[in-house]
């Protein structure tokens, strides 16, 4: 299984964070990826981080056109802010069969938080989303892909059954920690093809495996 992660699509409707711009893709780039995923949907999981308005305005209709489902990891501190999803958008995504998950509250790197802050970030974002969509929230998208052993423990303790990282490559169905690859606007068609077919050089594959073991077992905060 390959996890594909998107952030924003089209023109941003808010001021972007530092280093965020490359993670926005055009509607055409997005459409090209969806058309390919739709050829073999069982091999892919599509996710969206940050809760941008384009999740609702651009991604939702395109996904429906292709008969695809996706997961949306929302920052609850931004709900209703300019350029972000509001409660009605989140409900519409959920009612259309999409999975809603947490990306935390304030877009912070979770390993840098104290135990109490981390607990708050994971629990109250989850409670807020459950309140909005009236469904169980059990999945989280890890901000900036930054996690360590303490973060994974806190996620499990807060009731999450699945956490999505940004380690790239594939994963087996049913695993707790699921790596994804973020698609960027500056990727060439060749780059995108390599991701969709999970082509990675042996050296990159080894580095990824080592990095994942380190992050899973160490406390870095």
Give the pair of three-digit tokens for residue 21.
Answer: 């711009």
CA atoms of 54 and 12, how far apart (whole Å)? 8
Strand partners, 48: 6, 72
Rounded to a whole number of angstroms, the minimum distance from the CB of residue 134 to Zn ion is 25
Rounded to a whole number of angstroms, the minimum distance from the CB of residue 96 to Zn ion is 22
CB of 165 within 8 A of CB of 178? yes
Instruction: State which residue has the least CB distance to Zn ion.
Output: 49
Q: Which is nearer to Zn ion, 15 or 207 (CB)?
A: 15
| Member of 4, 29, 34, 50 binding Zn ion (CB under 5 A) | 50
Rounded to a whole number of angstroms, the minimum distance from the CB of residue 11 to Zn ion is 18
Tell me if 55 contacts Zn ion by CB under 5 A. no
Site for Zn ion in 135-154 (CB under 5 A): 143
Distances (CA, A) of 68 to 61, 63, 114, 141, 190: 10, 5, 38, 19, 23
CA atoms of 125 and 102, how far apart (whole Å)? 6
x-marked contacts with Zn ion along 81-120 as a string, rule CB under 5 A: ----------------------------------------
CA atoms of 48 and 182, how far apart (whole Å)? 9
Tell me if 121 contacts Zn ion by CB under 5 A. no
Q: Which is nearer to Zn ion, 40 or 140 (CB)?
A: 140
Q: What are phi and psi of 5, to 5 degrees?
A: -115, 135
Site residues for Zn ion per CB under 5 A? 49-50, 143
């Amino acid at each position: 299984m390959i996890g594909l992660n998107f952030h924003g699509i089209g023109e941003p409707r808010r001021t972007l964070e530092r280093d965020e711009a490359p993670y926005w893709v055009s509607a055409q780039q997005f459409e090209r990826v969806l058309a390919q995923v739709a050829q073999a949907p069982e091999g892919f999981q599509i996710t969206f981080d940050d809760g941008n308005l384009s999740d609702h305005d651009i991604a939702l209709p395109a996904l429906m056109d292709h008969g695809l489902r996706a997961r949306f990891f929302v920052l609850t501190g931004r709900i209703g802010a300019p350029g972000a999803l509001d409660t009605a958008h989140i409900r519409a995504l959920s009612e259309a069969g999409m999975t809603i998950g947490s990306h935390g509250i304030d877009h912070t790197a979770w390993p840098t938080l104290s135990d109490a802050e981390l607990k708050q970030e994971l629990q109250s974002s989850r409670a807020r989303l459950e309140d909005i969509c009236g469904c169980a929230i059990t999945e989280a998208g890890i901000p900036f892909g930054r996690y360590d052993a303490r973060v994974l423990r806190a996620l499990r303790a807060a009731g999450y059954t699945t956490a999505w990282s940004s380690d790239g490559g594939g994963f087996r169905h049913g695993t707790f920690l699921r790596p994804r690859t973020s698609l960027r606007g500056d990727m060439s068609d060749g780059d995108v093809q390599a991701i969709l077919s999970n082509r990675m050089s042996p050296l990159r594959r080894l580095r990824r495996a080592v990095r994942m073991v380190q992050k899973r077992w160490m406390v870095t905060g």
